[in-house]
Amino acid sequence: MPARRPLLLLLPLTLAACERAPAPGHAVVDVRHTPYKEGSATPVARWQGDVFTAEALEQRLLEMSPALRERYQTPAARREYVESVARFEMLVQEALARGLHEDAEVVASFKRALVSRLMRQQLEQTDITVTDAEVAEAYERQRGDFVRPAQVRLSHVFLAAPRTDAAQVAAARPQAEALLAQARALPPLDFGAFGKLAREHSQEPRTQPLDGDMRFLSDEALARAYGPELLEAVRGLTESGTVAGPVQTEAGFHILKLQGRQPAVNLSLEDMREQLTQRLRNEKQTRAWADFLESVARRQQLTLDEAALGRVSVDLQAPMRAPSGPMPGTVPAPYSPGGGTP
């Protein structure tokens, strides 16, 4: 009869001598549920090589919410819970007995869990401080995002006809009226069809390549770029997709279509303090994690053979093969212990 395997998870394959540390790339892990010495606690369940103690059960119950804890008021409910825990641990033993701790997928999962825990520990141990001065500086850098006037986004078809050129104005006016009729015949929210109209007929070099899109502009910017007549005409447009025109300016005629509006924004430093503080903390954690990765690479003497990498072929025409094993692990992005993400 084969000897029973110990309840020690050996990764990946060989066991180092007990009197010295495992060799690089190897680990000895005790996977027993509760490290236990006889007489040190009160077992409520025993199975081969392991126990579950009353003290451990009490601790588990205290870690539950009071509402969940109510489920375990009776001995029968507590028995069911302990049996479930014991069955799980016995399945771990069964997996070890079958050598599944040496399975590539198990080793890959173990590595990912290790790296995730290392990252969390490293970030928790890193002193990250965000000062009021840093928050104020960040606010000033982005003030345009926090304080801005109301803006309107329009599309237009423009026909050049300087007001001082009566003949050109007379020729352009009926064309503008015809384009207005075409624009009004389109579904109000079909901005693609209006864009096609602008591409084919607009004579405004800044917006014609953009399907007539004028982007978001404040009242001041709109009047400065296209004339106060446009600003006056836009004031009456409230619903997205509304068409207006022809609007005559000093430069010519505009057929307008409202895409949308953005309300004014006026967020103070105090309004943004918490959000900016968290963002700066996340940025510092990202830098700290990058610095830590560099220090690990130096300490473990990472080198890359650029010539060998250059000789690796990448066949774009080859069919995809079945995986030969788990994908290599990759470095996770740092995250905020408080729950935020950078």
> With 0-12 CB in 10 A as exposed, 13-18 as middle and 19+ as buried, what is 217?
buried
Strand partners, 260: 153
Render 119-176 in DSSP notation, one character per residue. HHHHHHHS-----HHHHHHHHHHTHHHHEE--EEEEEEEEEE--TT-HHHHHHHHHHH
Distance separating alpha carbons of residues 134 and 130, to the nearest angstrom? 7
When pLDDT is averaged across residues 26-52 and rounded to a whole number, the result is: 79
| pLDDT tier for residue 129 given thresholds of 50, 70 and 90 | very high
Assign 66 to helix, strand or coil.
helix
Per-residue confidence (pLDDT) for residue 190, from 0 to 100: 93
Nearest to 280 by CA among 143, 146, 139, 126: 139
Q: Which two tokens stand for residue 22?
A: 């495992």
Confidence (pTM): 0.63
Task: Give the DSSP letter of residue 208.
Answer: G
Contact 54, 78 (CB under 8 A): no
The answer to whether the CB of 45 falls within 8 A of the CB of 51 is yes
Closest to 93 in 3D by CA, of 50, 52, 55, 58 = 50
Helix (H) / strand (E) containing 307? helix 306-311
Q: Among 25-34, 84-93, 282-291, which stretch is predicted with the lowest mean pLDDT?
A: 25-34
What end-to-end distance do the CA atoms of the chain give, in Å?
56
For 19, the token pair is 């009197």
Structural domains of the chain sorted by starting position, each given as residue range(s) with its CATH number in brackets: 8-102 (no CATH), 106-147+271-296+329-342 (no CATH), 150-263 (3.10.50.40)
How confident is the model at residue 37, as a pLDDT?
63
271's tokens: 């309004």
Identify the pLDDT of residue 34.
65
Find all residues with CB under 8 Å of 222, minimum gap 6, and list them. 152, 154, 214, 230, 231, 234
Q: Convert 154-177 to b/e letters by CB count within 10 Å (16 or more is b).
A: bbbbbbebeeeeeeebeebeeebe
- Bridge-based pairing of strands 8-11 and 27-30 is antiparallel
Binned at pLDDT 50, 70 and 90, residue 3 comes out as: very low
- CA distances for 201 relative to 22, 172, 226, 230, 255, angstroms: 76, 12, 18, 19, 11
Task: Record the tokens describing residue 52, joined without a space.
Answer: 């579950």
Confidence class for position 328, pLDDT limits 50, 70, 90: confident
| Statement: residue 169 has pLDDT above 80 | yes
Q: What percent of the chain has pLDDT above 70?
A: 89
- The DSSP H or E segment spanning 265 is strand 265-266
Q: What is the pLDDT of residue 17?
A: 38
Return the pLDDT at 20: 59
Instruction: Read off the tokens for 138.
Output: 């960040």
Q: What is the pLDDT of residue 18?
A: 43
**Mean per-residue pLDDT over the chain, rounded:** 87
| Cα angle, residue 266 at apex, residues 263 and 272 outer, rounded to 5° | 120
Give the rounded percent of residues in the chain with a pLDDT score beyond 90: 73
Q: What is the DSSP letter of 13?
A: S
Res 201 pLDDT > 80: yes
Contacts of residue 341, Cβ cutoff 8 Å, sequence gap at least 6: 282, 333, 335
Are 246 and 154 within 8 A, CB to CB? Answer: no
Query: HSE of 141 in the Cβ direction (CA atoms, 13 Å)?
Result: 8
Q: Which residue has 């004031």 as its token pair?
A: 235
